[in-house]
Structure 1
Amino acid sequence: MEKSKITKIFGTDKRVVVLGIARMADAMGNSFLIVVLPLYIASKSVSGDFFGLTETLVTGLLLGLFGLITSVSQPFTGGLSDKLGKRKLFVLLGLVIFTLANFSYSLAHSYTLLMVIRTAQGLAAAFTITASLALVSEVSTNKTRGNNMGIYNTFRLIGFGIGPLASGVLVENGPYHIPLFGEIDGFVASFCLASLAALVSALLVAFLVTDPEETKPSKRKMKIRVKAKEEGKLLDPIFALALATLVMSFGFSLLAPIEAETNQRLSQGAFKFSLEFSALIAALAISQPIIGKASDRFGRRIFIVIGLIGLVPIVFSEGLVTEPWQLITARAMQGICAAMVFAPALALAGDLAEEGRTGSQLSVVTMAFGLGISLGSFVSGYAVRFGYVVPFIAGAVMAALGVLVVVTQVPKNVEVLE
């Protein structure tokens, strides 16, 4: 597409901004559930038994299932969007499924139904994430990709950060009297608002986003490399970037499954927990555009390495906190370090992606993000029985391993300027 035909908002391609805003509304609705679902289960609104597992472990499984399903599905949805050359269609399909699934929580009162709905959400995210990131990458150049990834992720993360805050307020201040519908509790209000947010996202994408003219159906087979082509390296650089993203996101999700334990340890309620959870997201959202733009100029790898090194002591310290303000501070610092990993890793993967395989190759990184979220939830829900600090020790060790992978497997001199 000729530059003169590209509509820009504040110097950025309109489609990047609109996709970011749409994903912001969707992410806000989805992140409601991170705070609401553990409280929903703890409130005894869910009846029955799930294979004899403890409530905390079931909560971890439920939260982690989303990332697991999303991660497994993303290479296939990314490859299919490459094959058809229809990014917008895949984004819309995912958002419509989100709309229906989010509302369905208000009708579910068994663990089995919650698992089914969470699975549907995971599939929806697989459609939406791979297609939207591929579209952002394809409307970018090597000079703007870091900045565009940072802007896109910032909008998305603003929504992701607002969601827990809003849900904490909704749950604590319910029930509500709605004209024509009667009285609903805070949980149903949260589920309905999450559904509305996904619907708004779908409408924004439907009317304001178009596929790039350069994106054509691809006849190339989906190809995900694990082994490096370069002599002296073990891992393909995109796969190494995926591992770095996995260990970064692993630390994201350590807190959510142990909400009850955290609230008890710090003598707090749902609102303070939502502040602690959102501190990471807020810092990540603020930092990403700045770091993404800097990576366009100074290179991607240096930021990734520094971010992973910083995560080691910060994640460990979260297991030692005794006051809410300490956890808020640590989570904010974690968000800044995570920003150094996330936007540059996505941009570098986009720089390295082969033509006609953008969706499938970027899906390796986004798949790793989801796997990290899922794995972190599973580990945290199980490991907390051995002591509150144990999940955070695991997160620190994972970050240290990430440093080793990036330093040894991602080349220093990847050209990022055209």
Structure 2
Amino acid sequence: MTTTTAPPPAPPAARRATRPLGAVLAAVGIPIFMVTLDNLVVSTALPVIRTELDASLTDLQWFVNAYTLPFAAFLLTAAALGDRIGRRRMFLAGIAVFTLASAAAALATAPWQLTAARAVQGLGAAAVAPLSLTLLAQAVPDRLRTAAVGIWGGISGLGVAVGPVVGGAVVEGLDWHWIFWLNVPVGVVAVVLAVTVLDESRGGARKLDPLGLLLSAGGMLLLVWGVVDGPDHGWTSARVLAMLTCGAALIALFIAWQARNRTPMLPLSLFRSRGFSLVNIVTLTFSAGAFGAVFLLAQFFQVVQGLSPLDSGLRTLPWTMAPMVVAPLAGVFGDRVGPRNLIVAGQVLLAGALLWIGLASSPTVTYGDLVAAFVMAGVGMGLTFAPISTVALASVTEQQRGVASGANNTIRELGVAAGVAALASVFSSYGGYATHQSFVDGLVPAVLVGAAIVAVGAVIAGWLPRRHGATPPGRS
């Protein structure tokens, strides 16, 4: 490189071509795989953990929710802090916190200790998820970005896919503590890779917005908490209504504050882009319908067909592994086919698969009658993951990618929580766990509602812009 009068911020852009794509993908992919894996990996270990820690049913729910709540609530906050103090620095902090909390979870000897460790894990994951995508977009040349995001989507999907299988295998072959111990060496490797491969970057605004951080985090925490508690405490209970109302009020105050603040953590100008606004609506419907259905279908094989956690996880692999293969291909061919077409096709396939599963489910249904629908659903999810991220990032300026990624990830996690809660509520209204037939009586209408939610997203996706080049602020 020559040493002429290059501007100070130039080196990161100049170094993009010198970083091997494989090294960059490893630096951002290993951490995102780790945090998405932990979203579901503990679910198959719950019966064993309940026995060893003498945990109650409420404790078991909190082992899952304690991770989900801070993860969803602080995604936007972590992305905004990364824009101001340094994205790589915040990313590294997230990996370190997640790794240390994993060790604490492995050492837990009481339910409250495991719950607390899972909550800290969620905080660390909130910093990893949005910033991994932002750092990837910054580290690769524009011509490789769509393909790189596709591969990133496949890695993220792999974490979701193998979570139940890894959890079941570890519990049956080793011990439930190893679910968390395995994160420790992986976290150390992830820190080393991030330090050596990734460059530091920041967003546009440098001034912190403490009030915005408090309002957004508090509002998201109460909203997600209310949604999670809805099925158990009743949607009309004072507890749930209070959390939902207060959460919505805090989010409204946050939006009003962002409109007045000269250095907002979430520039409302982002939503003037038709592409950004619509792709986030599709993210919400996709996450709610798909993951709400997966939550119930994963239990179907254990409750109705009497399979072990490991065998149940293996039965879902045609669905959950397909995105790992399809998402990178969607990234490679995304520029040629167009992200809008891929998202529409993915949502149509997913809605059709859920409809198929809902209509075919019965206490005596064979696995062979469902496996084609599972593959169809997995292909639909794979066609959706990467294009959604591509459109979200391409609809904003480079300086806004961090907060855009944080907003998109926040909406996705809110969709997951809302979908699980809503479909669980439908399930409990029509069926239950008393008999195989009662479980199916609740499963069928819940999965059909999931199919309808995804179908709405497919229609909305048809309104996405055809082109996805960089969009100036305030334009669609």
TM-score, normalisation: structure 2: 0.72
Q: Deviations over 1:71-107 (max 9, x none)?
A: 22111111111122x2221121111222122233334
Q: 3-state SS of the aligned residue for 1:342? A: helix
Q: How far apart, CA to CA, are the structure 2 residues paired with 1:258 and 1:114?
A: 26
RMSD, aligned CA: 3.1
Aligned to 1:360: 403
CA–CA distance in structure 1, aligned partners of residues 424 and 83 of structure 2: 37
Q: 1:286 aligns with which of 322, 325, 329?
A: 325
2:178 match: 189
1:388 alignment counterpart: 443
Which structure shows the higher helix fraction?
2
Equivalent pairs, count: 387
CA contact (8 A) 1:70 1:122 kept: yes
Q: 2:55 aligns with which of 23, 44, 47?
A: 47
Aligned amino acid, residue 405 of structure 1: I
Structure 1 partner of 2:280: 242
Q: 1:23 to 1:72 in 2, by over 3 A?
A: closer
Confirm or deny: 8 A CA contact 2:16 2:139 kept in the other structure: no
1:118-162, CA deviations, whole angstroms, 9 ceiling, x for partnerless residues? 322221111111211111122345533221111122233334434
SS state at 1:365 partner:
helix
Q: CA deviation at 1:239?
A: 2.8
Q: 1:348 to 1:210 in 2, by over 3 A?
A: same
- Residue 179 of structure 1 corresponds to none
**Alpha-carbon shift at residue 347 of structure 1 (Å):** 0.7
Distance apart, 1:199 and its partner CA: 3.5
What's the offset of the Cα at 1:284? 0.4
Segments of 5+ residues of structure 2 without an aligned counterpart are 1-10, 207-262, 431-441, 472-476
List aligned pairs for 1:306-317, cutoff 5 A: 306-317=345-356
Q: What is the deviation of 1:253? A: 4.7
Superimposed CA distance per residue, residues 283-336 of structure 1 (whole angstroms, 9 cap, x where no aligned partner): 101111111121122321111111111111212333444234444443332221
Q: CA 1:260–1:311 in 2, change beyond 3 Å: closer, same or farther?
A: closer
Q: 376-385 vs 387-396, which deviates more?
A: 376-385
User: What secondary structure sits across from 1:412 in the alignment?
Assistant: coil
In structure 2, C-alpha distance between the alignment counterparts of 1:138 and 1:75, rounded to whole Å: 19
Among the aligned pairs, what percent are the same residue?
Answer: 20
- Report 1:1-400 matches (<5 A): 1=11, 6-9=17-20, 12=21, 14-28=23-37, 31-36=40-45, 38-40=46-48, 43=51, 45-48=53-56, 50=58, 59=61, 62-84=63-85, 86-108=86-108, 112-174=112-174, 186-211=175-200, 215=202, 218-219=205-206, 220-225=263-268, 229=272, 236-250=274-288, 251-256=290-295, 259-319=298-358, 320-321=360-361, 322-385=365-428, 386=430, 387-400=442-455
- In structure 1, what is the equivalent of residue 231 of structure 2? none
Structure 1: distance between partners of 2:176 and 2:31: 24
Q: 1:209 to 1:227 in 2, by over 3 A?
A: closer
Paired with 2:349 and 2:35, the residues of 1 have a C-alpha distance of: 30
Higher relative contact order (CA closer than 8 Å, sequence separation 6+): 1
Distance 1:353 1:416, change over 3 A: closer
TM-score, L = length of structure 1: 0.81
Aligned partner of residue 182 in structure 2, secondary structure: helix
Secondary structure of 1:23's match? helix
Q: Greater Rg, structure 1 or structure 2?
A: 2
Change (3 A) 1:416 1:216: closer
The unaligned stretches of length 5 or more in structure 1 are 175-185, 231-235
Aligned partners of 1:144, 1:5: CA distance in 2, in Å? 11
How far apart are residue 261 of structure 1 and its match? 4.4
CA distance in 2, matches of 1:32, 1:227: 34
Is 1:412 the counterpart of 2:401? The answer is no
